[in-house]
Structure 1
Amino acid sequence: MTQHTPDRAPGPSAPPRRVDVAVVGAGFGGLYALHKLRSQGFEVQGFEAGDGVGGTWYWNRYPGARCDFESVEYSYSFSEELQQEWSWSERYAAQPEILRYANHVADRFGLRPLIRFNTRIVSAVFDRADALWRLQTDAGDTLEARHCVMATGNLSTTKYPDIPGRDSFEGRYFHTGAWPHEGVDFSGQRVGVIGTGSSGVQAIPLIARQASHLHVFQRTPPYSLPAHNRPVPKEEEDAWKRRYPEIRAAAKKTISGIAAFHKPTQSALEVSEAERLAAYEKHWNDGRTSITRIYNDLLRNEAANATVSTFVQNKVREMVRDPEVAEALVPRHMLGTRRVCLDTDYYDTYNRDNVTLVDLQRTPIEAITPRGIRTAAGEVALDAIVFATGFDAMTGTLLAIDIRTSDGVTLRERWSAGPRTYLGLMTHGLPNLFLITGPGSPGVLTNMILSIEQHVDWVAQCLADMRQRGLAVIEPELAAQDGWVEHVNALADETLYPRANSWYLGANVPGKPRVFMPYVGGVEAYRKACDEVVAAGYRGFAFAPAPAAGASTPAPSSAPARAA
């Protein structure tokens, strides 16, 4: 990967550099934001904590890391030339290939010089008098920007479990979300993996092939479906490329943003058991996570959900030879209310002689010791521990930055009872601060790149409309934000999602408010809502011009920035 030595900003004594838009993060959201905004004539500056682009795919280099959406759809659509020139080698691309793709995009569109790498934003303060954001880096540099775009990602801040004694461990320990770039060799070692979410499900089979013995410490068994991953034949790739316009258009009219995930029209309860089982079996053999999209009530009706949950539970029992281990691996929550995983040989791994499942429901972890992990059943001696324990999702990275206004409004205070946004794009009280796939948007429940493009396009259009009308400040109105939060909550309450303790609710972080964060209405409904806001003159947003020299910023007014 091309390395980049950042050009540091001037020291604190020099006047800060000023740009139109600061973009924080150089994952897929940040890269597209830099490209789109620059193409519209805005001066932009990007910031990235790592030394390369890729975001999630830069940090998550654990064994088996790969996307669980098919590569041909988990990709940018903004450039037809890019779509045609890039070839995916596998149906589900692995992390190294996705990272190569991100680097290709950065180099092809000349984005790398726009980014300060190895630079973390520690504070962002909006000066109401000057209508500017002042961003301070961990090196003490300051940049001024009229607008700030937070493309910090939804799964960016790693979460370690609160287990006593972690720092006493004398072996090596790793987190899947911050994996050493040089890789890790577990050959001949006794390894413990804590966590069986998506990262654990992907990593466990490969670690088991290396380790002398692997202990998997499982608290909540996941639902995982076989990926049936395979190389992409040239003729299949060519067919996709010919149909890309049709595929992209179809994806925007779905719930998940994936054209291959068709919108269901039937209830699971209005077809026969034989028909249901045939549909579930076909989906199982197809290798996709969209099993909850076969019928329209699988995420809304417990009885309907029981039909698909039971199907997958029985599959687990069939694949794992030891009946006691199989029962411990059978999920007990309703399928789809926590993230559904996609795997290669996950359940078969528990048939290996060198793998032991530790059921934390029966024997919980008491402490990490210098020699391993002590559970209620005794101590397990280990040479290495892997924490596959996920992230402080959706809000963690944003709240790690001191985001505030000059008159004392802070993001942390505004989100103290859970995140509150208008359209998942902005928060009342923090002008000119845009969130890419923020809480209150469908991002994490969808094809992230499609949702990223939609958000960035919306922000870019908004800033271009403001520039045309001489407006410099935008802020969501409190009533509009309250209405959107109520709408998001009402939709979630109509589903089974809130019934499970998932990271969608922040349940994996002690003390985090239990609020269902994503918008469950789907890509098509969300896109329509955003477009209607623009068509109605940016309904729910207030605007103000830039302050004159020596004057304070006028109070934002609800006068539209775009003709209805």
Structure 2
Amino acid sequence: MDIAETKAKYAEEREKRLRSDGNDQYFRMAENFEEYLDDPYVEIEQRETKSDHVDVAFVGGGYAGLVTGARLAELGVTSYRVIEKGGDFGGTWYWNRYPGAMCDTASMIYMPLLEETGHMPREKYARAPEILEHCRRIATQYDLYDKALFHTRVTELRWLEESQVWQVKTDRGDAFTAQFVVVGTGPLHVPKLPGIPGLDTFNGHSFHTSRWDYSYTGGDAEGALMEGLTDKRVALIGTGATAVQCVPHLSAACKKIYVCQRTPSSVDVRSNESMNADWYSEKTNEPGWQKTWMENFTKNMSGASDGVDLVQDGWTDLARRFLGKIAQLPVEERGDVVKMMEAYESSDFEKMDEIRGRVDEVVSDVETAEKLKAWYRQLCKRPCFHDDYLQSFNNASTVLLDTDGKGVERITEGGIVVNGIEYPVDCIIYATGFEIGTELIDRAGFEMIGREELSLSDYWKNGMRTLHGISVHNFPNAFRVQPTQAANFIANVPHNIVESAKTIAMIINHVRASGFQTIEATKEAEDDWQELLSGSMQMLADPSCTPGYYNNEGQPLPDNAVGYVGHPEGAMAYFKFIDGWREAGDFEGMSVS
């Protein structure tokens, strides 16, 4: 197809999937389906409530809490407490234990603190059990376990002006204080359900992929055959990154697996391979090697590469193509924005045409292959990479129920209805992802009250406001670990985390070492940072993309989403800036008392 025809096809497929209800099409589990949130992995243990004082309280026990805790420990801060709703450290990797789960960016840049822990990933793309194991390794090495409150949710963070500390309240009766609080709950941690009529009427078994029920399916997170499904008819709703990874395992185990598809994912080659110890040793023999690798990946993804690609994967392939086309332009045209956009568009069309061509090469049934093709730009949705997903549709057990953009019509007591046909099933598995684009207070589950009883939700009612994505005026001694208003680098979120964690640890150490009690972003500095960000492109993809969480389900952004951006010059510009800012040591733009 030529570019004009491809664009028309993209627009046609997008139009089929547009919905006026946007994010409201999903059900919030906490409101009506709390049973889907139960922890199937670790039993809740009784403990005494906490009413003491710590130097630092951290909300969230995933990578953010682990890396920040490690950096603080390296600086001598030991009075540290993590509040985590799961039963162990790990965050995303505590909950996501579905069969086939693995990271989709290379282990060398995805797994933090490899250099500090001395761990060599077993494969280029680490599997979930190894990542969870690594999270526990970090927690053990930095003595974080006795500083954690598991199966505990924060209900309120409140600044106590008189004593100049934060009060932390939880759902288990804790009411302790902390000089500093840090929030690192992650962008994707609240699972959601599709708003399908009849969802609550199904009489069979059902669960969300973030709470995989191995007691029903059999098997385990290591990939053992799920013998409990050999006589079962199963419906999997959702075909995003999670489904791409678990479908091959369901295909091998189920009597019949119905894969319910509203929008196909783009699925490129994964080419996973075992890590070679000699190669690994050679690549990691210089101090700071992991920072070098992370920055190299970010540069390649940002179009700022110096021609070296250490990772060499599907993510950087598009960037390599784009830079190759730029190099073919006459020298005088290489700074022309229009020419550069044309080169990028051409690269993307070529890439997606290859991905669609791969479907034809792999899937034997022509009709099924046609329905599995993704008709949108590669970065409109989270790109997927897998070597067994498409192959699964050649198995007799596996049936694609394509809904032509409409989604499952309804759920009955005994099955699902797609395209007017009811399919009886024994089990429904929801691979429908996590909330994003909903109100921050709803996802966090708690309110933060700063100076003069000002709530964070009120302060941000017209949009997020931060200094460097880390601190907020009117909220002293409080910090956030997250990408927004910082690098906003979504292709490899851990890069954002390690930089934020290092910055926050150095700020806290500066306050303690200097004998101060508080530190806070000034209004002037916060205003200046917002002015800088006003020249940024929105985080979410172009509205012309197929609807999804990258572009607010195809709906216009709400007025208070104006601040969900990154540094106007890109991720590497932010990382370079924040490195110089913290190393200067005076933390310009923050006031101490």
Normalising by structure 1, we get a TM-score of 0.82
Where 1:492 maps in the other structure, the secondary structure is coil
Matched, 1:120 2:160: no
Cα distance change, pair 413–159 in 1 and its aligned pair in 2 (3 A): farther
Select which of 347, 367, 379 maps to 2:410.
367
Select which of 92, 96, 102 maps to 2:129.
96
What residue in structure 2 maps to residue 8 of structure 1? 48
Matched, 1:70 2:106: yes
What residue in structure 1 maps to residue 97 of structure 2? 61
Q: How does 1:273-284 map to 2 (within 5 A)?
A: none
Where 1:9 maps in the other structure, the secondary structure is coil
What residue in structure 2 maps to residue 561 of structure 1? none
Where 2:178 maps in the other structure, the secondary structure is strand
Q: Is the 8 A contact 2:318 2:347 kept in 1?
A: no
The count of aligned residue pairs is 518
Offset, 1:203: 1.0
Q: Is the 8 A contact 1:156 1:397 kept in 2?
A: no
Q: Which runs of 5+ in 2 are unaligned?
A: 1-40, 219-228, 324-339
Offset, 1:399: 3.1
Q: How does 1:218-233 map to 2 (within 5 A)?
A: 218-233=261-276
Cα distance change, pair 57–449 in 1 and its aligned pair in 2 (3 A): same
Offset, 1:539: 3.4
- Map Cα deviations across residues 244-284 of structure 1 (whole Å, 9 max, x no partner): 644532433552699xx994479xxxxxxxxxxxxxxx999
| Inter-partner Cα distance in structure 2 for 1:24 and 1:178 | 21
Q: How does 1:384-395 map to 2 (within 5 A)?
A: 384-393=427-436, 395=440
Given residue 514 of structure 2, which amino acid in structure 1 is its aligned partner?
R
Where 1:491 maps in the other structure, the secondary structure is coil
| Inter-partner Cα distance in structure 1 for 2:395 and 2:528 | 53
| Inter-partner Cα distance in structure 1 for 2:549 and 2:212 | 21
| Inter-partner Cα distance in structure 1 for 2:216 and 2:478 | 37
Select which of 476, 492, 502 maps to 2:537.
492
Offset, 1:200: 1.1
What residue in structure 2 maps to residue 560 of structure 1? none
Where 2:185 maps in the other structure, the secondary structure is coil
Offset, 1:367: 1.9
- Map Cα deviations across residues 335-385 of structure 1 (whole Å, 9 max, x no partner): 113211121311112222222222223553222221122234222211111
Matched, 1:525 2:573: yes
Q: How does 1:3-42 map to 2 (within 5 A)?
A: 7-10=47-50, 16-42=51-77
What residue in structure 1 maps to residue 317 of structure 2? 291
| Inter-partner Cα distance in structure 2 for 1:396 and 1:483 | 26
| Inter-partner Cα distance in structure 1 for 2:447 and 2:124 | 40
What residue in structure 1 maps to residue 335 of structure 2? none
Offset, 1:312: 1.9
Select which of 122, 126, 139 maps to 1:106.
139
Percent sequence identity is: 27
Given residue 53 of structure 1, which amino acid in structure 2 is its aligned partner?
F
What residue in structure 2 maps to residue 538 of structure 1? 587
What residue in structure 2 maps to residue 504 of structure 1? 550
Cα distance change, pair 6–302 in 1 and its aligned pair in 2 (3 A): farther
Cα distance change, pair 515–196 in 1 and its aligned pair in 2 (3 A): farther
Q: Which runs of 5+ in 1 are unaligned?
A: 11-15, 267-281, 546-564
Matched, 1:166 2:199: yes
Offset, 1:59: 0.5
Q: Is the 8 A contact 2:539 2:564 kept in 1?
A: no
Cα distance change, pair 479–382 in 1 and its aligned pair in 2 (3 A): farther
Q: How does 1:407-426 map to 2 (within 5 A)?
A: 407-416=452-461, 418-426=463-471
Q: Is the 8 A contact 1:6 1:116 kept in 2?
A: no
Q: Is the 8 A contact 1:337 1:498 kept in 2?
A: no
Offset, 1:423: 2.0
Q: Is the 8 A contact 1:292 1:299 kept in 2?
A: no
Offset, 1:201: 0.9
Q: Is the 8 A contact 1:292 1:336 kept in 2?
A: no
Structure with the larger helix share: 2
Cα distance change, pair 404–494 in 1 and its aligned pair in 2 (3 A): closer
- Map Cα deviations across residues 394-433 of structure 1 (whole Å, 9 max, x no partner): 8477532222236342233344455443322123433322
Cα distance change, pair 127–300 in 1 and its aligned pair in 2 (3 A): farther
- Map Cα deviations across residues 201-247 of structure 1 (whole Å, 9 max, x no partner): 11111111111111111122221212111222332333334356445
Given residue 130 of structure 2, which amino acid in structure 1 is its aligned partner?
E
| Inter-partner Cα distance in structure 2 for 1:140 and 1:57 | 27
Given residue 172 of structure 2, which amino acid in structure 1 is its aligned partner?
A
Q: Is the 8 A contact 1:255 1:522 kept in 2?
A: no
Offset, 1:66: 0.5
| Inter-partner Cα distance in structure 1 for 2:496 and 2:82 | 20
Cα distance change, pair 416–217 in 1 and its aligned pair in 2 (3 A): farther
Normalising by structure 2, we get a TM-score of 0.78
